[in-house]
Structure 1
Amino acid sequence: MSEPLPEGIKHLVTINPVEKAPKLTDEAKKELQSVGMMDEKGKLKLKGVSAKMLKRMKQEQVDCPVLKQEIAFVQCYVCRNFHSRVMGQVYCKGEPL
């Protein structure tokens, strides 16, 4: 029997490792630049995330239940629906964007 999801969480999404890093959408890049998580050259600068973890995050993707498509995990990580990452899974609030 699986554990119930925490309050306010609608989806439990599995993180999938991939061979080739998925591309970030132009919208995601603009969003990251506007909040200071990406510089003008396109280099990610996530506070509290080590370079080793960031490299690993770039090689992962999730099947987003809100956007109904596969996206890069980094895009999921900076989404306002992202709650937390636990043992290869993401807690998603599932609210419309």
Structure 2
Amino acid sequence: MSDSPLPEGVKHLVPVKPVEKAPKLTDEAKKELQSVGMMDDKGKLKIKGVSPKMLKRMKQEAVDCPVLQKEIAFVQCYVCRNFHSRISGKVYCKGEPLTY
């Protein structure tokens, strides 16, 4: 991989790591997912454009969030407004403060 600079607006490059058991989604994250239609009332994820097989894999991954300063489930990272993109097992994060 080249040492090219991060894309404009991106402050962090965070590796995605596989975990045995992903961290639980926070209540704030669940409310956010439900408000944008990515989670039904029963708590089942339905992310448009993501296959069930990929979603299952995403649930088994986590990232060390540079904004929240803790390990979070990749699904929570994926729906965060700071999420820019994911390339080659790394997440490009905008790194802006979050207000829930």
Q: TM-score range by the shorter chain?
A: over 0.9
Residue 85, structure 1, aligned to residue 66, structure 2: no
Q: Distance in 2 between matches of 1:59 and 1:76?
A: 13
Offset from partner CA, 1:43-97 (integer Å, 9 cap, x none): 0000000111100000000000001110000000000000000000000000111
Q: Distance in 1 between matches of 2:61 and 2:22?
A: 7
Identity across aligned pairs (percent)? 84
Q: Distance in 2 between matches of 1:81 and 1:24?
A: 17
Which amino acid in 1 is paired with 2:91? Answer: V
CA displacement at 1:20 relative to structure 2:
1.2
Q: Distance in 1 between matches of 2:57 and 2:48?
A: 15
Aligned match of 2:48: 47
CA displacement at 1:28 relative to structure 2:
0.6
Which amino acid in 2 is paired with 1:32? Answer: L
Divergent runs of 4+, >2 A: none
8 A Cα contact 2:23 2:71, kept in partner: no
Gaps of 5+ in 2: none
Q: What is the correspondence of 1:16-35 to structure 2 with a 5 Å cutoff?
A: 16-35=17-36
Task: Tell me the TM-score normalised to structure 2 length.
Answer: 0.94
8 A Cα contact 2:22 2:61, kept in partner: yes
Give the number of aligned pairs. Answer: 97
RMSD: 0.8
Gaps of 5+ in 1: none
8 A Cα contact 2:63 2:74, kept in partner: yes
CA displacement at 1:3 relative to structure 2:
1.4
8 A Cα contact 1:22 1:59, kept in partner: no
Residue 14, structure 1, aligned to residue 15, structure 2: yes
